[in-house]
Structures are given as structure tokens and as C-alpha cells.
Amino acid sequence: MALSCSLIRVRPRFQAYRSYHNNNNNIWTKASRFSHFNHPHTSYSNFPPLSSFLRSCSSSLLRPLSSMTTPQHSPSTKTERVMIKGRVQGVFYRNWTVDNAKQLGLKGWVRNRRDGSVEALFSGSPDVVQEMVQRCRRGPPEAIVTGLEVFPSNDDPGTGFERKQTV
């Protein structure tokens, strides 16, 4: 069943509505009762309300590619190396860390260590890095964190967040 927008009758504002018969097949006639509400998301026009959105995004879409690929280190960027000890291997701690770090928009990496600990490097705004450190204190459901050490770092975090091989 194809619906056409041309079936909608636009009524003047505050016009008295006619009573209509119980005809449930014509939903567009009933919807036209509300056509006096002017809202961009309920518009029945042939053009989607995206033009204002595209105008607002055009400046960010036209940035040169070089500014998107080079790391942007601002003075408000904080980088910390974190050592997590306890039952943190074999409980998907690294995958959990990658998911949480990407969710927060952090850069860096996470890896297992041969001594049974997990090591991570987090880089981003100071409050987001602090939030990730707090999440690491809890870890995934199966983990039991018994110790967590945080060290300031000048290491390059890279461009995203990755899971590294065991060292």
C-alpha cells in the first residue's frame, strides 16, 4: 500500500474540525487534524528537514584531511600509564578496556604482562582519563582488582585505542 503526501489537506489554524465517520483506513485524513502544528520533525513536505543540519556541519566537513589525521595535542591533554594487578587476565579485561576507552574517546593501548598484570596507556582530557582510571579500579564483572598504580607518561598514545600483544 503506497501512501502519498498529496492526500493531506492543510487546514487553516483554529478551524473547527468536521466530525468524520469511523473510517480507520484513511489515517492521513486523521493525521491532517494536526497539520496546524508547525514542527520541523512532523513536516509532511517532500524535502527532509536536513538542510539546516547540513549547513551547521558544513564547516567541519570541509576541514582538510591533514587536520583529521595528525594527532592534536593540546595543553589540556593528559597521558597516564596504569598498571592493574589482581585477577585481571583471562577475564576479558583487555577487551573491556578497549571498549570503555573507545566509548570515552581516549587514545592509547592496553596489554597483558607476563607477571599476570595488565598495563594500559590512556591519553585524553584530564577528567576523561580520570574516569577511565576509576573504571579500571572496578574492571569487568569477572575481574578482581587488588592493586592499581598510575604514572604520568610522555609516551605517544597513537591515533586510536588498541589492544597490544603480551610483553
Taking a C-beta distance cutoff of 8 angstroms, is the pair 84, 144 a contact? no
Taking a C-beta distance cutoff of 8 angstroms, is the pair 113, 81 a contact? no
Identified catalytic residue from 11, 25, 94, 138: 94
Check if 95 is active-site: no
Check if 100 is active-site: no
| Integer angstrom CA distances of residue 99 from 104, 106, 107, 116, 125 | 9, 10, 12, 21, 18
End-to-end CA distance of the chain: 62
Identified catalytic residue from 112, 113, 114, 138: 112
Residues tagged active-site: 94, 112
